[in-house]
Amino acid sequence: MTGFFITFEGVEGVGKTTQAQKAFDLLDGKHPGKVIMTREPGGTSSGEAIRNIMLEAGNNGIDGMTEMLLVFAARRLHIRDVIEPSLKAGKIVLCDRFTDATFAYQGGGRGVDEKLIAQLQDMVQNTLRPDLTLLFDAPVETGLARIGERSKPDRLEAETISFFQRVRRSYLDLSQRYPERIRVIDAARGADEIADEIRTILRENGLC
Ligand code: Z5A
């Protein structure tokens, strides 16, 4: 692999998507045609269909184990058809959420055994891991207030504060376990200040 794989993570509403778009604009300006932006669950047509099943509002009987299997099914297609070919072509891949989200939401949030998630990670990804993960961290209430105006919450957005607190804790645990890969960004600040910090991190990684 000759490209560079960057993932954006954090609890709802912390501003990942906003910053992923800013990073895309910055990097695409420096490396035209060599940067792609994608997301999980999703990134392929079947992956987007799986996303809809997983996030559809209401009680559809889908539990944490089923969520884990769904996201890894979508991830397999995403890696095979989008991420690996792009990295092999030397591109920079920006992905809005990846496997840290499975550890945080299905592991931390739903209580699925981490060992099972790690096994699926090895099976589906082989040795593929992000080169850099930007973890946007802010109090859960800050993120939820930012998305508060959305009309209809999806299945996960309708979860309790304590669920999102477990998710946040789990993300922070991951950042302590993998400090060389995961950079924690204080996401309670204004979007421009955060974008400045990300530009510095991208520069440190030789990307701009
Ligand atoms: N999920 C999972 O369970 N397991 C997995 O393995 C994976 C995913 C991969 C969909 O993800 C769901 O999938 C997610 C976890 C689950 N759970 N839910 N729900 P998603 O990434 O598509 O959904 P999301 O986290 O809900 O995204 P989001 O709500 O769009 O949040 P965001 O991307 O972090 O924020 P944003 O869209 O950039 O900004 C939100 C609002 O805040 C918007 O109005 C902005 O203009 C505003 N904003 C942004 N930055 C700022 C700052 N700095 N200050 C003030 N306001 C700001």
Domains of the chain: 4-204 (3.40.50.300)
Query: CA-CA distance, 9 to 15, in Å (whole number)?
Result: 9
What is this structure's pTM? 0.98
User: For residues 195 and 22, what is the distance between their CA atoms, to the nearest angstrom?
Assistant: 7
Question: How much is the average pLDDT of 31-43?
Answer: 98
- Long-range pairs for 149-154 at CB < 8 Å and ≥24 separation? 152/57, 153/57, 154/55, 154/56, 154/57
Place 201 in a pLDDT band, splitting at 50, 70 and 90.
Answer: very high
60 confidence band (pLDDT: 50, 70, 90): confident
Asked whether residue 9 carries a pLDDT value surpassing 70, the answer given is: yes
Burial class of 68 by CB neighbour count within 10 A (0 to 12, 13 to 18, 19+): buried
Is 150 a residue whose pLDDT tops 90? no
Residue nearest to atom 1 of ligand 1 (CA): 101
Determine phi and psi for 89, rounding to 5 degrees: -85, 5
pLDDT above 90 for 1: no
Tens digit of each residue's pLDDT (9 = 90 or more) over 172-185: 999 999 999 999 99
Averaged pLDDT, 161-180: 98
**Residues within a 6 A CB radius of ligand 1:** 10, 12-18, 40-41, 55, 67, 71, 96-97, 101-102, 105-106, 146-147, 154, 156-157, 190-191, 194
Q: What are the backbone angles phi and psi of residue 92, rounded to the nearest 5°? A: -95, 125
Compute the distance from residue 98 Cα to the ligand 1 centre, in Å. Answer: 13
Q: How confident is the model at residue 126 (pLDDT cuts 50, 70, 90)?
A: very high
- The two tokens of residue 14 are 């912390």
Residue 151 phi/psi, 5° resolution?
-65, -50
Confidence of residue 148 (pLDDT cuts 50, 70, 90): confident
